[in-house]
Amino acid sequence: MAGSLLLGLGTLPANADAALVLLSDQALVNGQDLDRLVSAWRGQPHRPAAAAYDDQRGVPAIIPARYWSSLRTLGGDRGAGPWLNALRSRVTEVKMPRAAFDVDTPNQLAGLRLS
């Protein structure tokens, strides 16, 4: 996970203000959720804005460019979630309960299709 995140950040232009980080398996996150995230970040663009669910902060998230170098400490199967939780007091939280659901198994995928 860390490698994918760092690779993605490395492809952004040097003048980018921030990165919107999404996971493709969070199938219930919708456009309204992302609109609220963007609005929260625009209100305080110097701070990361992150989804809040299950008493955690995680993705989707918008991470300002000034924080990208600190993400380079991540490694292995760690993504932005633990990093965002460590910065808890500096993160603008956006309640997003739908972000708690992700599709990791065939059964979860089948259940999603039935919904």
What's the whole-number mean pLDDT along residues 88-105? Answer: 91
- Dump pLDDT digits (tens) for 21-49: 998 889 999 999 999 999 999 999 999 99
Residue ranges of the domains in the chain?
2-99
pLDDT average, residue stretch 10-24? 92
**What pLDDT does residue 112 have?**
74
**AA identity, residue 27:** A
pLDDT tens sequence across 56-90: 899 999 999 999 888 877 766 667 888 898 888 89
Q: What CATH number was assigned to the domain covering residues 2-99? A: 3.90.550.10
Q: With the C-alpha atoms ordered 54, 58, 59, 60, is the resulting torsion angle positive or negative?
A: positive
